[in-house]
Structure 1
Amino acid sequence: MSILLENHIVELLLERDDKAMSLLYEHYGDTLLGVAFKVVRNEELAQDVLQESFLKIWKKSDTYDPSKAKLFTWLFRITRNTAIDKLRSVNTKSDKEIQMDVSDVYKLGTEGLNPELMDIQDNLDKIDSKYQIVLDALFFQGMTQQEASDELNIPLGTIKSRLKIGLREMKKIYGSTLLLATLLHFI
């Protein structure tokens, strides 16, 4: 995208001109949809995120400061944050899940591991690597959530979120009852 077109879009946004949104959608829509999809991993949700993002962009257009960030960076952040919020919202409303909110009480080990029971370690590669790392640290390396946070240099809140999402992804592979039984075997 040319700098002239970007500047024109910014001017239109600051003037609250509807043409700005058409140009934004035309030139950034597909890319921002891709950003949303990468986070939510669902086409329908990604479309919702894109729509919500464009609404936020329109409402917050007076807050954009070209001296602080390029237009795409600003659009990217709004879309990514909207996608994360949407994912959290959907996750909160989803079926009841294994709740492990008390982080430091679980000291997980592998002493009683029965390899024939299930191939969880082999199936970790079916989920996103950021969740694999957390599940591996907690269930196979015996770390507490705080220890995993320190060792992996990831904030504790992020460890908790990734654990929750990682367990949900594994639940999709195994089903909730079988997954719960297997994970309880590790404790």
Structure 2
Amino acid sequence: MPKLLWSEHELVDALKERKSHAFGFLYENYAAALYSIIKPIVTDDSELACDVLQEVFINIWRKIETYDHTKGRLFTWMLNIARNASIDTLRSKHYRQAQKSQQLLENSSMRGAAGQMTEQQVDTIGMEKVLETLQPEHRTLVELAYFKGFTHEQIAEMMDIPLGTVKTRIRHALLQLREYLR
């Protein structure tokens, strides 16, 4: 029968013995606290924050042998794992998106480099200043959707973000532009 209360020492020992009910107790009692550490770091995506939380608990399970009670409390150790995983995830996601955005911009500038001004380019004259009012991630999505002609699905795939996030960001950007242009 699973225990309802554990001392920190008992919990760590049970985790090191790979007792699943101890891990269940750990998750039930610490998931919300760790999520509250992850969410402010991974601000734009609740789904990503949940993924990071899952990764954190997997790391805790795998690395419990490295926990040393003389260096700090269990929660502090887990908090550091959560914070580091959040930052690592954010950095890698940001890097991938930045690389994809740069590649898209380079490809689109090559198409217009022959000195020909297309009808689409004429329509965007003057919009650059208006788009500067948007957050960079919103501006990129608006440019891809409305000036480059990509579908929301294509943007989600290119940027490696969920389709719902693409739609939400574009909607927020359009609302911001509407307010700005009033």
Range class of TM-score, shorter chain? 0.5 to 0.7
Where does residue 46 of structure 1 map in the other structure? 49
Deviation at 1:93, TM superposition (A): 1.8
Give the TM-score, by structure 2 length.
0.53
Where does residue 28 of structure 2 map in the other structure? 26
Question: Is the contact between residue 101 and residue 140 of structure 2 (CA under 8 Å) also seen in structure 1?
Answer: no
List runs of 5+ in structure 2 lacking aligned partners.
104-128, 143-182
Give 1:96's match in structure 2, choosing from 98, 101, 108: 101
Identity of aligned residues (%): 37
Q: Counterpart of 1:81 in structure 2: which amino acid?
A: N
Distance 1:70 1:29 in 2: 16
For the residue of structure 2 that corresponds to 1:8, the secondary structure is helix
Deviation at 1:97, TM superposition (A): 4.7
Give 1:57's match in structure 2, choosing from 46, 56, 60: 60
Q: Counterpart of 2:57 in structure 1: which amino acid?
A: F
Distance 2:60 2:53 in 1: 10
Q: Counterpart of 2:62 in structure 1: which amino acid?
A: K
Q: 1:91 to 1:16 in 2, by over 3 A?
A: same
List runs of 5+ in structure 1 lacking aligned partners.
99-116, 124-168, 179-187
Q: Greater relative contact order: 1 or 2 (C-alpha under 8 angstroms, separation 6 or more)?
A: 1
Deviation at 1:20, TM superposition (A): 2.1
Distance 1:83 1:67 in 2: 25
Q: Highest Rg: 1 or 2?
A: 2
Give the TM-score, by structure 1 length.
0.52
Q: Moved runs in structure 1, 4+ residues, more than 3 A?
A: none
Question: Is the contact between residue 34 and residue 53 of structure 2 (CA under 8 Å) also seen in structure 1?
Answer: yes
